[in-house]
Amino acid sequence: MRVMVIGGDGYCGWPTALRLSGLGHDIIIVDNYSRRRIGDELGVQSLTSISSLEERVAAWAEIGGAAISIHEIDVAENYSELANLVSETRPDAVIHFGEQRSVPYSMMDPSAGLFTVRNNIMATTNLLEALIQTQTDAHVIHLGSIGVYGYETLGYEVPEGYQKVRHVDASGNLGPEQETLHPFNPVSKYHLTKALDHLGLAYYAAKHGLRATDLCQGTVWGAETKETRLDKRLANRFDYDPVYGTVLNRFALQAALGKPISVYGTGEQTRAFIHIEDVLACIEGALASPPKRRHRVKVVNQIAECMRIKDLANLFGELSNSEIMHIASPRSEPDENELAASNQGVKDYGVRPTLISATNVSELINYAKRHADLVDADKLYPTSEEKRLEPVT
């Protein structure tokens, strides 16, 4: 298949491009390097030194990988360039990772928040419009977030996109059973964009017959994949700072340095997780099973498991003899919640996800130790400014 990977220079996009290239797909990467620029602006870099995309792709070819083409396009701002590329290349599938993905960044200040909204919604809308206008029948695989459903305790397992409901009229009579989209409850501007993206996919699917899959992803953890290990120039990024570092990667580095494991608030928050290798396996599954034309958007909760933050912190603390430090949460999310979500779609893709365990947490800590000489210790914990990112309600 010819596969366009938008955001193919990022944490999930780069290893995906390598995996799919290795499997024989013809890969076209589109990226505007905004993630690298934001890192420069925030003064924080990936723990691993990452080569430029040109060097990465050259290294892949040098070790025997197929040629990967790269195109620097801001897909949120340059509709015509994107549409021209789509028209020239006619991809069979587009995997859309190309969004601003940090929740704290989206809540940092009005400019970062509005950038996130504009960037993410316009990136998705431009892509969908470009496919329709160029009459390109590509399956769109969009990376959404399981956080679109909010972090209140719902008391049931979040279904994959749709739920059965019956309307109750004013007299209490029950209407016929219907299937509707499960309500969104975004807790940040970032999550708001993912909810709006979904409605965009649904609109283009209903009006134009677009085939789309929305992968409602949990927090991704892990560093290396089979391919990124092959050569240091293929290394994936590993973010550990409070703005872009996802929780396991942050804990791993704190543990590696014997520093306190920083838990926001009580640590009673439950979140969903998935390992980077399983992200790739799910993308492979999604590529192999697109929804039919004129069918609704296929929604998959791309998660392996749900876990309470304090249990996670304790695991890292025990394995590294680090103390647990509770700090004010920079996020206006409930202090505690239960979360359960179906991951039937992941199982249907044939993926048996890696679960968080003492063994793989130790491996992650060791990985962080091996790269710890490049750490900027000032970036391990939120600054007082970052702690005030949002009013805590």
Ligand X SMILES: NC(=O)c1ccc[n+]([C@@H]2O[C@H](COP(=O)([O-])OP(=O)(O)OC[C@H]3O[C@@H](n4cnc5c(N)ncnc54)[C@H](O)[C@@H]3O)[C@@H](O)[C@H]2O)c1
Catalog residues that contact ligand X under the rule CB under 6 A: 7, 9-13, 30-35, 74-76, 97-101, 119, 123, 143, 145, 217, 219-220, 246
CB nearer to ligand X: give 262 or 302.
302
d(C-alpha 193, C-alpha 120), whole Å: 6
3-class DSSP string for 315-345: HHHHHHCCCEEEECCCCCCCCECCCCECCHH
- In 158-296, at which residue ranges do the beta strands (DSSP E only) sit? 162-168, 174-181, 212-217, 219-221, 261-264, 270-275
- Look at residues 205, 186, 183 and name the one whose alpha carbon lies nearest to residue 291: 205
CB nearer to ligand X: give 106 or 168.
106
Least distance from ligand X to the Cβ atom of residue 22, Å: 18
Helices (H) then strands (E): counts for the chain: 13, 14
Least distance from ligand X to the Cβ atom of residue 299, Å: 14
CB nearer to ligand X: give 98 or 317.
98
At 391, list the tokens. 């009013």
Least distance from ligand X to the Cβ atom of residue 370, Å: 21
Least distance from ligand X to the Cβ atom of residue 142, Å: 8
- Look at residues 86, 89, 193 and name the one whose alpha carbon lies nearest to residue 129: 86
- Contact by Cβ (8 Å): 96, 124: yes
Chain residue at closest Cβ approach to ligand X: 10
d(C-alpha 283, C-alpha 288), whole Å: 9
Strand 212-217 with 298-302, pairing: parallel
Least distance from ligand X to the Cβ atom of residue 146, Å: 7
Least distance from ligand X to the Cβ atom of residue 175, Å: 35
CB nearer to ligand X: give 40 or 109.
40
* Residue 240: HSE in the Cβ half-sphere, 13 Å Cα cutoff: 32
d(C-alpha 173, C-alpha 178), whole Å: 15
CB nearer to ligand X: give 205 or 215.
215
Least distance from ligand X to the Cβ atom of residue 235, Å: 13
CB nearer to ligand X: give 249 or 320.
249
CB nearer to ligand X: give 9 or 224.
9
